[in-house]
Amino acid sequence: MASKNESILIMDFGGQYSQLIARHVRECHVYCELKSYQISAEEIKSSGYRGIIFTGGPNSTYDENAPKCDPKIFQLDIPVLGICYGAQLMAQTLGGKVRSSDTKEYGKTEIECNTSSLIFHAAKEKSICWMSHTDYISEVPHGFKITAISESCPVAAMEDIKRHFFALQFHPEVNHTQEGMLYLQNFLYNACGCTAEWQMDSFVKETIKSLKITIGDKKVLCALSGGVDSSVAALLVHKAVGKQLTCIFVDHGLLRKDEGDQVEQIFRKQFDMNLIRVNAQERFLSKLSGVTEPEEKRKIIGEEFIRVFEDEAKKLGRIEYLCQGTIYPDVVESGTGEAAVIKSHHNVGGLPADVGFEGILEPLRDLFKDEVRQAGLELGIPEFLVWRQPFPGPGLAVRILGDITEEKLDLLKDADAILREEFASAGLDRRVNQYFAVLTGIRSVGVMGDGRTYDNTIALRAVTTDDFMTADWARVPYDVLEKISNRIINEVPHVNRVVYDITSKPPATIEWE
């Protein structure tokens, strides 16, 4: 059973690793939900959570506006694990003391733990953890025992085994914490009694079953982009109701080389889906003609996408449901809305809800990306598509600096295809999270044979990242870069220079526009 009965609540106090905690809990095959710290004890009780995790956060517990939890939470008889700020908040709320130190304890730190405590069961006595705090718990509340210390932290962990309250000053969710997953598992399985019920094969079966019931004999429409999310969402609906689902694939002509044909091949031929491919390159290129400003490009593409989709949908008559590939991070992120807008990541395929449907189906609403991928594999989607690197909705339009023409698109598609081929043959395609070519809009002087050239510069971009919010440039071996450069110069006309982008994010972004 992919059961949500054994659900864990993660109370978000604004920590940078909150989603990471949730992803790790899911990796332990336990369902969890990330909610604001403002959730009330009544709501928690009625939702039947098996356990609660308090995340870290940027505040001091004694700041005037520090986020606090409903103190009645500690009377619900539900196990609680506090992490970093969450640990300090637990200590302070239950009568312990938190102090500010002159120095920050930051980075990899050795802790010494009591392995007879619940959280450290089967753990090593000494192990490396990731610390990031200035405040610390100086006095544990009544009923608590200190279960770990570090050189500069008198309470690296504490627990009250009777009431099932646990606190860790360090971050078990961060990879640098060597045995972090074990500590989390001990909390989930031994304190909360969870049994690893959350499994993707059952999720797929149960979702198909419930989609069948929801949809009945009605019709469904889906905007398929060929990306992982919309593909998995569409396939779940297809398995549930077959030809009652129609997918519209708007090919805006800004996709990578041969990508449009691949999407058609997989979904129409392999899965026998009702698929309408709209070849709309001309329509998009004419709207984009002469446009150079990145945000303007995004806006035009987003709007035109909706128009093309609506034109096609109208031809199909009455359709009751719209299926969308919304995933859990979209749900959580749109709930907070605190981040500054650097780029309007208009998700092509994200359609306004008012297109006149009776209902919206979002079968992936509860899943993280890794889980979507697993579900995709369960459904038989080819690996290369399931593991495909992210591709922005506006496509190559944001990888051609300046205005967009068919000639520039063709040139970039060829250069990008070479880069991808060489990454695949060097086995870098799974190790590097995103990689692509950019047509920089720079022309420079070169020499080919005996003649002078004045031609285009292609930039190669390749990054490693966990979450795409920050990224590092990939240390691609020189011989791979050399081969890509040689091939692009020799095989793609009008390119006489290839450069490699060695900027991390921040300060740069991953895309050039």
Neighbours of 428 (CB within 10 A): 17
CB of 468 to ligand XMP, least distance (A): 4
Q: Closest CB to ligand XMP among 421 and 467? A: 467
Dmax (CA) for the chain in angstroms is 85
345 binding ligand XMP? (CB under 6 A)? yes
12 to 51: interface string for ligand XMP, x by CB under 6 A: ----------------------------------------
32 annotated active-site: no
505 binding ligand XMP? (CB under 6 A)? yes
CB of 212 to ligand XMP, least distance (A): 30
CB of 217 to ligand XMP, least distance (A): 34
The span from the CA of 364 to the CA of 197, in Å, is 18
| Residue of 61, 186, 434, 496 interacting with ligand XMP (CB under 6 A) | 434
How many residues sit in the footprint of ligand XMP (CB under 6 A)? 17
CB of 381 to ligand XMP, least distance (A): 20
Strands of 257-352, DSSP E: 274-279, 321-323
| Helices vs. strands in the chain: H and E counts, helices first | 14, 18
| SS3 of residue 217 by DSSP | coil
* Range 111-124 burial, b when 16+ CB lie within 10 A, else e: bebbeebbbbeebe
**Residues in CB range of 322: below 8 A, 6 or more apart:** 220, 221, 222, 351, 353, 355, 357, 359, 360, 361
CB of 279 to ligand XMP, least distance (A): 21
Distances (CA, A) of 245 to 37, 211, 215, 241, 266: 39, 12, 10, 7, 16
Q: Closest CB to ligand XMP among 280 and 398? A: 398
CA of residue 119 relative to chain centroid, distance: 28
Q: Report which of 185, 61, 20 is spatially closest to residue 118, judged by C-alpha positions.
A: 185
Q: Closest CB to ligand XMP among 45 and 343? A: 343
171 annotated active-site: yes
* CA atoms 259, 264, 269, 272: torsion sign: positive
468 binding ligand XMP? (CB under 6 A)? yes
84 annotated active-site: yes
Contact 31, 6 (CB under 8 A): yes
127 binding ligand XMP? (CB under 6 A)? no
Neighbours of 294 (CB within 10 A): 17
Half-sphere exposure of residue 266: CA atoms within 13 angstroms, side-chain side: 25
Candidates 33, 105, 159, 173; catalytic one: 173
| Residue of 35, 256, 298, 408 interacting with ligand XMP (CB under 6 A) | 298
Which helix (H) or strand (E) segment holds residue 98: the answer is strand 97-113
- Of residues 156-185, which lie at the interface with ligand XMP (CB under 6 A)? none
Of 211-219, 306-314, 321-329, 339-347, the window that binds ligand XMP (rule: CB under 6 A) is: 339-347
Distances (CA, A) of 345 to 87, 188, 261, 308, 348: 35, 35, 25, 19, 9
| Residue of 346, 369, 443, 483 interacting with ligand XMP (CB under 6 A) | 346
CB of 302 to ligand XMP, least distance (A): 8
Contact 288, 295 (CB under 8 A): no
Strand partners, 277: 249
* CA atoms 448, 452, 455, 457: torsion sign: positive
343 binding ligand XMP? (CB under 6 A)? yes
506 binding ligand XMP? (CB under 6 A)? no
Candidates 84, 113, 194, 323; catalytic one: 84
| Residue of 262, 405, 503, 509 interacting with ligand XMP (CB under 6 A) | 509
The span from the CA of 253 to the CA of 125, in Å, is 58
CB of 255 to ligand XMP, least distance (A): 13
Q: Closest CB to ligand XMP among 27 and 511? A: 511
- Of residues 361-420, which lie at the interface with ligand XMP (CB under 6 A)? 390, 392-394, 398
271 binding ligand XMP? (CB under 6 A)? no
Candidates 24, 29, 171, 238; catalytic one: 171
| Residue of 169, 347, 440, 456 interacting with ligand XMP (CB under 6 A) | 347
CB of 5 to ligand XMP, least distance (A): 34
Residues annotated catalytic, as ranges: 84, 171, 173
Footprint on this chain of ligand XMP (rule: CB under 6 A): 298, 342-343, 345-347, 390, 392-394, 398, 434, 468, 505, 509-511
